[in-house]
């Protein structure tokens, strides 16, 4: 979970010729954005629970985050892209909201980057500004191979599941391609819960 006082990344600003400072100065300018939540983060608090209690905890946690955003940002409109934003009875594990479509003034959208549970704020539209075309990259395609071992909490017998993974990435040279994938590998290896509440991790061998 994002700690109090820390700030989530705000992306997409460069497509409109903005940085975070100039974006905040837009004030009441209308913005469309997507807020990505830390819904499925397996934090120490989640790890301490038994598998049967983890999903209920994470469901209540994301509902609490969203309710707090509603309460502290009344000038913004929120729409959950998956599942229901809060309440509504039981939901499937895959139906928990992991991102929200946000509409409202730039100052409010900018403030969301400091909200608890927010991983990333992606700006998709800014009133009065046209999206810039990205420059054509002078890069080549490289294929990087990795062997992934899938581990499930509590399972100590049976066949070990592996995945031979190939990733295509544009880079200047092969070592640059591997470097560009480091962040992706870290995200890929982050543990998550399956439908039974067991922790699952994908580890590179």
Q: What is the pLDDT of residues 38-66, one digit of tens each?
A: 999 999 999 999 999 999 999 999 999 99
Q: Which of 3, 82, 71, 74 is nearest to 35 (CA)?
A: 82
pLDDT (0 to 100) of residue 95 = 80
Q: What is the pLDDT of residues 91-107, one digit of tens each?
A: 677 788 899 999 999 99
Q: Which of 122, 114, 38 is nearest to 72 (CA)?
A: 114
Cα–Cα–Cα angle for 140, 144, 150, nearest 5°?
Answer: 150
- Can you list the residues of the chain whose pLDDT is less than 70? 1-5, 81-91, 134-137, 205
- Decide if domain 9-126 falls under CATH 3.40.50: no
């Amino acid at each position: 979970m994002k700690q109090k006082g820390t700030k989530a990344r705000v992306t997409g600003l460069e497509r409109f010729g903005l940085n975070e400072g100039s974006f905040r100065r837009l004030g009441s300018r209308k913005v469309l954005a997507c807020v990505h939540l830390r819904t499925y983060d397996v934090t120490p608090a989640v790890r301490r629970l038994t598998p049967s209690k983890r999903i209920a905890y994470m469901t209540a946690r994301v509902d609490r985050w969203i309710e707090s955003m509603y309460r502290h940002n009344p000038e913004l409109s929120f729409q959950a892209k998956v599942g229901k934003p809060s309440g509504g009875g039981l939901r499937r594990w895959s139906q928990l909201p992991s991102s929200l479509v946000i509409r409202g003034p730039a100052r409010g959208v900018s403030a969301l980057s400091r909200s608890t549970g927010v991983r990333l704020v992606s700006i998709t539209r800014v009133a009065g500004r046209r999206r810039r075309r990205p420059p054509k990259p002078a890069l080549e395609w490289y294929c990087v191979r990795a062997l992934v071992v899938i581990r499930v909490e509590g399972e100590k017998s049976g066949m070990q599941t592996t995945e031979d993974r190939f990733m295509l990435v544009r880079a200047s040279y092969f070592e640059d391609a591997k470097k560009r994938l480091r962040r992706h590998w870290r995200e890929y290896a982050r543990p998550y819960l399956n439908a039974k509440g067991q922790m699952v991790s994908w580890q590179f061998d």
